[in-house]
Amino acid sequence: MKILHTADWHLGKKLDGISRMQEQIEVLDEIVTIANNEAVDLVIIAGDLFDNFTPNTEAIELFYKTLKKLSANGKRPVVAISGNHDAPNFIDAPDPLARVSGIFLIGHPLTEIPVLELEHFKISKTDKGFIELNINHIDFPIRLIHTPYANEIRLKRYLGEEKAEGLNKVLADHWNYLASEYCDSKGVNLLTTHLYINKKGSALIEEPDGEKPLKIGNADLIYSEAIPKQIQYTAMGHIHSYKNIGNDEQPVVYSSSPLSYSFSEAGQVKYVVIVDAHPDQAVQLKKIALKKGKSLHRKTFNSVEVAVDWLSENKETLVELTLESDTFLKADDRKMLYQTHEGIVHLIPKVKNAQIDGQIENKEINLNQNIKELFHDYFRSKHQNQEPNQELMDLFDEVLNK
């Protein structure tokens, strides 16, 4: 069987006020096309479906339309869990309507989906945080342990208030119970969750800029060693770049977000993961790069002319532009840059040689100078010896004349 794993859609997200909705429409259509071309049997969306607890109407409509396409009108099961950006109750609310179309929306840990039989597949076994799927054209069951995001306090409430152990052990006990109860070698055994998980002893994975952090100290740090040995593939969400923190025999994979959502992700390739799975065998993974959406760039130039040339040649991008110069950036130069490219998100002027040997020059101010010279000295004292440009001095003249 084949599984498509995707995560971190963040529908409705903006980049400092710039809407990404059209890009999201295009990239989700691309994911639907990949699912169809690869003839996948199951789709897993591992959390952060929306960017906030109260998504706008446009984002909600895009979400439901995409799920319907991914489900091939009920022929292919789709499982979507909530992430830390999602409101669990909001995700849960339409599930009774969605599940009759083969779409399972899971907002809370320990959700128990009822046994269900549809035309093309059925849920034959269910438990808190677990389903077993039987797809008509596949002659073995698919077991899925599902754990949507919840913080340490909420997870302990779900998994047992009497448990005083750390979150890592609470989850390990819960997952191992489900795996030992239901996940034998006669079916494909999967886990999906939206948590900060890392391999014990490995360097900490950097969370994306703009993400609500899941790792606060070590309280919410979960190790991949907590995942039961019966699990053949773990579909993760939260980290926006592709990472397999497991191994070839037992992959634990962050699939990546479909778009770059902050400039810390500039230059990243985004993926969906196709998982080829058989009972009692190591899965085979295939990353498929996503091509839709604008690329993000962090660019530094020391000449307005060179910056304009690059911007002219790279129109379909979003840019954080740093411009190094000897004086303040002129208003005409700013205007030219913004007229050249509509995707400048940040324009950062950086003054070269602003300091002498790392020290701001100190000198006694001659109060007998004329007012223009006094302003010149004052400006330098406040701006690390930077000279005011002619545009600023002309403006000072205009103030004086008035």
Cβ neighbours, 10 Å, residue 388? 17
Among the residues of 186-315, which ranges form H helices? Answer: 304-313
Mean pLDDT of 40-67: 96
pLDDT (average), residues 168-187 = 92
198-216 residue pLDDT tens: 888 777 777 766 665 555 4
Specify the pLDDT at position 351.
Answer: 74
pLDDT band at 218 (very low <50, low <70, confident <90, very high): very low
What's the pLDDT at 206?
A: 75
Range of lowest pLDDT (49-53, 65-69, 73-77, 389-393):
389-393
Beta pairing, strands 197-198 & 222-223: parallel
The strand pairing partners of 276, in sequence order, are 2, 284
Confidence of residue 152 (pLDDT cuts 50, 70, 90): low
Pairing of strands 344-351, 317-325: parallel
Q: Which residues of 176-185 are buried (b: 16+ CB within 10 A; e: fewer)?
A: bbbbeebbee
What integer best gives the mean pLDDT of the chain?
88
Residue 119's pLDDT is what? 93
Q: Which of 26, 67, 48 is nearest to 210 (CA)?
A: 48
Q: Which of these, 144, 70, 149, lies nearest to 107 by C-alpha position?
A: 149
274-326 residue pLDDT tens:
999 999 999 999 999 999 999 999 999 988 999 999 999 999 999 999 988 87
pLDDT of residue 365: 63
Q: What is the pTM of this model?
A: 0.83
- The pLDDT, as a whole number, for residue 193 is 96
For 313-338, the pLDDT digits (tens) are 999 999 999 988 877 778 888 899 99
Share of the chain above pLDDT 70, in %: 88
pLDDT for 360 beyond 80: no
Q: Is the pLDDT of residue 220 over 60?
A: no
Q: Report the distance separating Cα 176 and Cα 190, nearest Å.
A: 13
Per-residue model confidence as pLDDT tens digits over 99-133: 999 999 999 988 999 999 999 999 999 999 999 99
Query: Would you say 301 and 321 are in contact if contact means Cβ atoms under 8 Å apart?
Result: yes
Query: In the block, which residue shows the tokens 């230059």?
Result: 267
